[in-house]
Amino acid sequence: MNNIKNIAILGSTGSIGRQTLDIISEYPSLFYPYLITANSSIDLLISQAIKYKPKHVIIANESYYQQLKDALHEYPIKVEAGAKAIAEAVKDSQLDTIVTAMVGYSGLEPTINAIKEGKTIALANKETLVVAGELITNMLKRSKSKIYPVDSEHSAIFQSLVGESHDSISKIILTASGGPFRTWNINDMAKITKADALNHPNWKMGAKITIDSATMMNKGFEVIEAKWLFDVDAKDIEVVVHPQSIVHSMVQFVDGSIKAQWGLPDMHLPIRYALGFPTRLASNCAKLKVSDYSNLTFESPDFNKFPMLSMAFDVIAKGGNIPCALNAANEIAVAAFLDERISYIQIPQIVENAVNHTDYISNPQYDDLVITNKLTRQYTSSLLK
């Protein structure tokens, strides 16, 4: 009998995508990388296709189509290009699990299609729930599709909730490393360079999420993600700065007990859990030794120093299409910061301006989100000129 799960990795050349391929190679009798996709990292995508022999490979950037096709012409691999091809490919009846590891808004349409087809989703693209949490949650109620979180904090919460009922949850405690500027004086933040912001103390990640971690926008997005994944009010989600990144998050229950999940700061761990769930997969990976950590600390975040964290709570309270605008404005501002067109402290200023400029839509449908995303990107780009 064939029990191998066919996996799609959307964003196979990014940090999560590469680590997902590691996990798949760790358990060849359990998983097969049936579909891999990338945005524009053509050379790595080609070498992954030759190494892992998927059935289907797609490059989102259509200008690389011929290069991909030529490189793989002697292999029995279907080759396509374009975002539409990715959104269609997730519907393939052979696929069991979709790992959504692409960056930003681009994860939305394939995730929606995967839910419509009842696929299991290993969610690494938190922006999907930021943009469309309400829509996705309503769709999930009508689908046999399940979402298993890959984000380390949400994996920790998910693991802490196994065997618990929703009524028992009192509070979700989301841990944050605090990023590279946790100990900086607020008056020095204007001097932050791109290199400073890309130097995360604990986690090796892609550039976009590393900047989001430095501004703590990432933690704000994770509050929104947790609200939708675990059906809790934002007022019942507390962010706690835990610089060692060993306790990946916690749940406090109605009797006062707290359950936490600990581990080394290594994304292989939550990816392995999401792919294996409900089975815990044995691994020879490096394991945490508790006695190595005699100084685990927890403190409240500084909302003045990290205005994007408070912005996220404001945006959740507004709801509707406003979280979608927050994400779009942030994507444009972070890209501009990475291009060294704006300074670090301009990121929250530009994002706040764009969010306040958005026309409110309650209970947004997919088309409303597409328009909000487009208009907010245009407006935010106009602020950069």
Tell me how far apart the alpha carbons of residues 344 and 194 are, in angstroms, rounded to a whole number. 8
Q: Which is nearer to Mg ion, 80 or 222 (CB)?
A: 222
Q: Which is nearer to Mg ion, 56 or 219 (CB)?
A: 219
Q: Considering the complex, what minimum distance in angstroms separates the CB of residue 249 from Mg ion?
A: 9
Q: Considering the complex, what minimum distance in angstroms separates the CB of residue 24 from Mg ion?
A: 21
CB atoms inside a 10 Å sphere around CB 131: 30
Q: Considering the complex, what minimum distance in angstroms separates the CB of residue 153 from Mg ion?
A: 5
Q: Which is nearer to Mg ion, 48 or 175 (CB)?
A: 175
Q: Which is nearer to Mg ion, 23 or 267 (CB)?
A: 267
E-strand ranges in the chain read 5-10, 31-38, 56-59, 78-81, 97-100, 120-123, 146-149, 169-176, 237-241, 247-253, 258-262
Closest by CA to 128, choosing from 229, 1, 58, 41, is 229
- How large is the greatest C-alpha to C-alpha distance in the chain, in angstroms? 64
Q: Considering the complex, what minimum distance in angstroms separates the CB of residue 105 from Mg ion?
A: 18
Q: Which is nearer to Mg ion, 108 or 123 (CB)?
A: 123
Question: Can you spell out the DSSP letters for 68-98?
Answer: HHHHTTTSS-EEEESHHHHHHHTT-TT--EE
Q: Which is nearer to Mg ion, 54 or 178 (CB)?
A: 178
Tell me how far apart the alpha carbons of residues 219 and 236 are, in angstroms, rounded to a whole number. 15
Structure tokens at 252: 């406090």
Q: Which is nearer to Mg ion, 254 or 288 (CB)?
A: 288
Q: Considering the complex, what minimum distance in angstroms separates the CB of residue 381 from Mg ion?
A: 27
Which residue has the CB atom at the shortest distance from Mg ion? Answer: 151
Binding residues (CB under 5 A) for Mg ion: these are: 151-153
Q: Considering the complex, what minimum distance in angstroms separates the CB of residue 125 from Mg ion?
A: 12
Q: Considering the complex, what minimum distance in angstroms separates the CB of residue 224 from Mg ion?
A: 12
Question: Can you spell out the DSSP letters for 311-380?
Answer: HHHHHHHH-TTHHHHHHHHHHHHHHHHHTTSS-TTHHHHHHHHHHHTSPP-SS--HHHHHHHHHHHHHHH
